[in-house]
A and B are shown apart, each in its own frame.
Chain A
Amino acid sequence: MSVLASTLAEYRYQLRSNRLGLWLFFISEAFLFGGLLVARYYLWGNTRPELNQGLGLAITSILLLSSFFMNRAETAIAHEDRRTFLQSLMITAILGIIFLIGVVGFEWGGHIKPSDGAFGAVLYGMTGMHALHVLSGVVFILIVWNNGRKGGYSAERHWGVEACAIYWHYVDLIWVFFYPALYLIGSPVS
């Protein structure tokens, strides 16, 4: 086996191990978010607090849009389109920050406080834990953007970008289940 083939085989093996490791991490995280969802359905039942529906829909749309730009960034680096890659990453980070402002700045500034019984505890627990993941995702994106700016990724080797993208989509995936649980399911109680 030539040195090149051996290096490529090693890289492939490493890549598969990395992917598996990342998905195992997601499974462990799913227990955390799953626990929060169970708490919501157990404590709130068929009720929910009166929340700003427009804000909920807006931040959900922003997160979905950010996922599109993250996917665009990953596709761009896989096709050596560096300009689109860097632009899309930056847009994703900005949308992530807007999402955080929507949750922390506006939703948390509403009439429900963390001390407001089950409604407050579950609302702040779920949005807080999710927001923490969004924040870490934004930091991750900015690190990848900085590495990308220095030419740290190529079409053949960009595991860092792929991991960052998958992590960001995972955060989006969690919100797909959190959004209806918080805003849509159950009768609103003032």
Chain B
Amino acid sequence: MADVTQGSMVLVGVSMVMGIGLFLGMLVFFGLFVQRQYPPTVAEEEEEPTMDRALASRSAAYRQGALVLLGLAVLTILEYLVAVYVPSVVIILIINLAKAGLILQYFMHVSRLWSEEVH
């Protein structure tokens, strides 16, 4: 009984660490490919009208939502395939944690709790 409990604890610990790692990896991925917004240079500010920049910012925000959905869809399909072909609780838990991380970060904006961001 003690072995089983100890084994489960190790399993949960390993899953959590790997899930957090996977989430951080996806965070870097999304950070590199989605949120690539640099402040405009003086030349750009002079050339580009403000309206265009607002539209570009809106499109980028919509694109980010679509990419997060894509990430969640891929992970859900992966989770299903793992359950069918390699029934491993550890891998399913890792995928769950990665999905939860994406939702918390990009949909629930958890970081706004400790930032001064208004809307």
Asked whether any CB of chain A lies closer than 8 Å to the CB of B104, the reply is: yes
Interface size on A, residues (CB 8 A): 40
Contact with B along A48-76 (1 / 0, CB 8 A): 00000100010011001101101110011
| Residues 1 to 30 of chain A near chain B (Cβ within 8 Å) | 11-12, 15, 19-20, 23
Interface residue from B54, B73, B96, B116 paired with A176 (Cβ < 8 Å): B96
Q: Which of B21-29, B32-40, B42-50, B61-69 has 4 or more CB atoms under 8 Å from chain A?
A: B61-69
Q: Flag if A75 contacts B61 (CB, 8 Å).
A: yes
B113 located at the interface, meaning its Cβ lies under 8 Å from any Cβ of chain A in the complex: yes
- A177 at the binding interface (Cβ < 8 Å): yes
The segment from A97-105, A109-117, A165-173 that touches chain B is A165-173
List, in ascending order, chain B residues with CB within 8 A of A187's CB.
87
Q: Are B73 and A180 in contact (CB under 8 A)?
A: no
A169 B103 Cβ-Cβ under 8 A: yes
Interface residues on B, range: 20 to 34
Q: Which of B80, B107, B108, B110 contacts A184 (CB 8 A)?
A: B80
Having A177-B96, A185-B89, one finds 12 other A-B pairs with CB under 8 Å, namely A11-B118, A15-B118, A19-B113, A20-B113, A64-B69, A65-B69, A67-B69, A78-B61, A166-B108, A170-B108, A185-B83, A185-B92
Which residues of B come within 8 Å of A, CB atoms?
A: 54, 57-58, 61-62, 65-66, 68-69, 72-73, 76, 79-80, 83, 87, 89, 92, 96, 99-100, 103-104, 106-110, 112-113, 116, 118-119
25 sampled A-B residue pairs with Cβ under 8 A: A12-B116, A19-B112, A19-B113, A61-B73, A64-B73, A64-B76, A68-B66, A68-B69, A71-B68, A72-B62, A75-B61, A78-B119, A156-B118, A157-B119, A158-B119, A162-B119, A166-B108, A166-B109, A169-B107, A170-B108, A172-B107, A177-B96, A183-B83, A184-B79, A185-B89
